[in-house]
């Protein structure tokens, strides 16, 4: 939802270096991800490495060779088998001139499954996740150059990142969508064409994504179930980070905003008058009573229907009030991770500021002509998030032109019940202490607030019951040792200081749904806590049965 915050910020105003080069070998290390073979250093500067061999590539054929990525600018190491390009929505390209752009990284070891990863927005490119979250290459804001990602999800499975719907990233065609049902139908049609191009059939399919993909993924999953075609749509599970599954501008933002701010005011630093204003909104608009009633385990019943009107309800908008005032205090405020402070870090993918602005004079990595040529991208302007809506018209539950019902009403329960492997994850900051009456669970994501996500879950029926019957309280631990910075510690004589993380959050499982709050993670969980995200995926894929 990266452009989403900039848009909401406008409404709010109207109303009121580390270069991670560590690649040391450690027991349990993901060897295929951390090999330094092929690296070139010239006068201390990394240069592009050329591929030395395609031996053992599982998906390389005469048909797929056109998509093979042989090198990437600034990437100084071999990254193995990688494909990218555009594939038409229709197999014969006769009735529809739309195409979706993809990046495909096969697994280190052959497996008969594919994980599809989608970014949100709506209209944000999944290439940002490829580069900064769960792909084989990691180029984080403020770092010198891209490095290998030892926690890349292709170490577990075949990974496919897709720019969708039409109008997102490098995907092209007329924008016609008015609903999630239409977007899902387009994606399912495209995905079958993609599988045919790569000779894939009878694979287990998993859908994953973040933010507004909380709407994309359940609807696409439901469409796959409707297709009843195990050869191409054998859906086995889903993973959703910081997902917009309920009334996200109301229940997942405004209602839970003040308790969030009160728990984190050491980071916001609002004065007493500002805090009193937001507290008055919270109490006067009934938000405290709402959460006292419905953020309970088990819930007493369905919640009152919530419809947000950004024009008429500004006096009940503590989230908007905070967004309109926080930049006076911290001009570098980042709602995706509120613990980040000035200065603004150079971001290779382009977006350096919450307003959506890039670093002056910068060409985003994926908008460079040499990068476009390397990944077989169309010669169009690439932006991390689309400058215009990917929906036509207006209206819908959140006034975005998306007329579909919230996923909790039907499609998400259906996917949970069909697969029994759905994970909903949020990011937290600080200790975890859910207090039902005060909503004080600390978390660092101010875009989709964790307790708002719990409110959405408590308003969803699946497996014959409404919501979780028990509050999340089990300890989530991460046993994987550091693989990214191990050489740095070794060089400093601090071998062993960067071991397993241990306790990293709280989780709860009921009736096929796993909920996980991950500590020290913001909106993009896989970016801020990649080891935890790696374990989340292990559960979704069935590699482990519990945390």
Would the pLDDT of 467 be above 90?
yes
pLDDT computed for residue 409 by the predictor: 96
- Going by C-alpha positions, the residue among 533, 506, 509 that lies closest to residue 519 is 506
Specify whether the CB–CB gap between 121 and 385 falls below 8 A. Answer: yes
Would the pLDDT of 158 be above 90?
yes
Specify whether the CB–CB gap between 474 and 506 falls below 8 A. Answer: yes
Averaged pLDDT for residues 361-374: 95
Rounded to 5 degrees, φ, ψ at 329 are -85, -45
Q: What span, in angstroms and rounded, lies between the C-alpha atoms of 117 and 88? A: 19
pLDDT computed for residue 429 by the predictor: 58
- Going by C-alpha positions, the residue among 424, 456, 417 that lies closest to residue 225 is 417
Q: What span, in angstroms and rounded, lies between the C-alpha atoms of 370 and 1? A: 28
Worst-scoring range by mean pLDDT, 143-147, 206-210, 344-348? 344-348
Question: What is the chain's mean pLDDT, rounded?
Answer: 87
pLDDT computed for residue 96 by the predictor: 63
442 or 177, which is more confident: 177
Domains of the chain by start residue, with CATH: 39-241 (3.40.50.1820)
Residue 431 — pLDDT band, cuts 50, 70, 90?
very low
Specify whether the CB–CB gap between 366 and 125 falls below 8 A. Answer: yes
Specify whether the CB–CB gap between 161 and 127 falls below 8 A. Answer: yes
**First-to-final CA distance of the chain:** 28
DSSP 229-284: -TTT-EEEEEEEES---S-TTIIIIIHHHHHHHHHTHHHH---HHHHHHHHHHHHH
Averaged pLDDT for residues 106-114: 95
Averaged pLDDT for residues 6-21: 43
pLDDT computed for residue 445 by the predictor: 79
Would the pLDDT of 5 be above 90?
no
Q: What span, in angstroms and rounded, lies between the C-alpha atoms of 496 and 269? A: 37
Checking DSSP bridges between strand 99-105 and strand 158-163, what pairing results, if any? antiparallel
Q: At what angle do helices 318-329 and 272-284 cross, to 10 degrees?
A: 170
Tally Cβ neighbours within 10 Å of residue 109.
Answer: 10
pLDDT computed for residue 68 by the predictor: 98
pLDDT computed for residue 434 by the predictor: 45
Averaged pLDDT for residues 276-296: 96
Residue 314 — pLDDT band, cuts 50, 70, 90?
confident
pLDDT computed for residue 394 by the predictor: 83
pLDDT computed for residue 52 by the predictor: 64
pLDDT computed for residue 18 by the predictor: 37
Would the pLDDT of 206 be above 90?
yes
Averaged pLDDT for residues 243-250: 88
Averaged pLDDT for residues 14-31: 38
Would the pLDDT of 312 be above 70?
no
Residue 327 class from Cβ within 10 Å (0-12 exposed, 13-18 middle, 19+ buried)? middle
3-state secondary structure 517-528: EEECCCCCHHHH
Q: What span, in angstroms and rounded, lies between the C-alpha atoms of 185 and 227? A: 10
Would the pLDDT of 365 be above 90?
yes
The whole model's pTM is what?
0.89
Residue 348 DSSP one-character state: T
Specify whether the CB–CB gap between 482 and 472 falls below 8 A. Answer: no
Specify whether the CB–CB gap between 104 and 83 falls below 8 A. Answer: yes
Residues designated catalytic: 211, 445, 523
Partner residues linked to 426 by β-bridges: 517
3-state secondary structure 255-267: HHHHHHHHHCHHH
Would the pLDDT of 69 be above 60?
yes
Worst-scoring range by mean pLDDT, 325-334, 363-372, 388-397? 388-397
Residue 275 class from Cβ within 10 Å (0-12 exposed, 13-18 middle, 19+ buried)? middle
Q: Which pair of tokens denotes residue 130? A: 């490829």
Helix, coil or strand: residue 296: coil
């Amino acid at each position: 939802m990266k452009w989403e915050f900039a848009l909401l910020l406008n409404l709010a105003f109207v109303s009121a270096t580390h270069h991670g080069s560590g690649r040391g070998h450690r027991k349990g290390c993901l060897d295929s991800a951390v090999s330094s073979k092929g690296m070139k250093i010239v006068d201390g500067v990394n240069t592009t490495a050329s591929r030395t061999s395609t031996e053992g590539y599982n998906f390389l054929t005469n048909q797929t060779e056109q998509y093979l990525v042989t090198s990437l600018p600034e990437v100084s190491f071999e990254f193995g088998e990688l494909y990218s390009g555009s594939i038409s929505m229709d197999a014969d390209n006769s009735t529809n001139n739309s195409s979706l752009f993809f990046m495909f990284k096969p697994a280190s070891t052959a497996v008969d499954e594919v994980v599809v990863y989608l970014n949100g927005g709506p209209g944000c490119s999944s290439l940002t996740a490829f580069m900064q979250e769960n792909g084989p290459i990691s180029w984080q804001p403020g770092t010198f150059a891209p490095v290998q990602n030892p926690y890349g999800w292709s170490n577990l499975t075949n990974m496919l990142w897709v720019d969708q719907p039409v109008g997102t990233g490098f995907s092209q065609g007329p924008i016609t969508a008015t609903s999630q049902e239409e977007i899902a139908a387009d994606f399912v049609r495209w995905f079958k064409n993609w599988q045919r191009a790569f000779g894939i059939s009878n694979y287990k399919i998993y859908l994953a994504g973040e933010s507004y993909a909380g709407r994309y993924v359940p609807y696409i999953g439901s469409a796959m179930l409707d297709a009843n075609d195990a050869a191409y749509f054998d859906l086995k599970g889903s993973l959703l980070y910081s997902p917009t599954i309920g009334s996200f501008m109301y229940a997942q933002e405004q209602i839970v905003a003040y308790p969030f701010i009160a728990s984190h005011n050491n980071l916001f630093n609002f004065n007493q008058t500002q805090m009193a204003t937001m507290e008055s909104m919270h109490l006067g608009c009934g938000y405290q009573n709402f959460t006292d009633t419905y953020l309970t385990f088990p819930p007493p019943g369905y919640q009152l229907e919530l419809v947000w009107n950004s024009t008429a309800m500004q006096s009940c908008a503590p989230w908007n009030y905070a967004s309109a005032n926080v930049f006076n205090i911290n001009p570098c405020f980042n709602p995706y991770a509120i613990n980040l402070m000035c200065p603004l870090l150079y971001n290779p993918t382009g977006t350096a500021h919450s307003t959506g602005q890039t670093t002056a004079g910068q060409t985003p990595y994926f908008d460079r002509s040499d990068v476009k040529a390397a990944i077989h991208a169309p010669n169009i302007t690439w932006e991390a998030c689309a400058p215009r809506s990917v929906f036509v018209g207006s209206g819908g539950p959140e006034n975005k032109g998306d007329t579909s019902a919230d996923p909790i009403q039907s499609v998400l329960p259906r996917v949970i019940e069909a697969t029994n492997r759905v994970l909903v994850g949020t990011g937290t900051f600080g200790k975890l202490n859910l207090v039902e009456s005060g909503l004080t669970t600390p978390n660092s994501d101010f875009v989709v607030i964790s307790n708002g996500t719990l409110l959405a879950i408590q308003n969803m029926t699946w497996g014959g019951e409404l919501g979780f019957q028990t509050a999340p309280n089990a300890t989530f631990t991460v046993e994987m040792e550091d693989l990214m910075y191990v050489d740095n510690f070794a060089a400093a004589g601090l071998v062993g200081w960067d071991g397993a993380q241990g306790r990293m959050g709280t989780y709860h499982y009921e009736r096929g749904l796993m909920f996980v709050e991950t500590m020290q993670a913001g909106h993009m969980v896989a970016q801020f806590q990649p080891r935890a995200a790696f374990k989340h995926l292990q559960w979704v894929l069935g590699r482990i049965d519990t945390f």
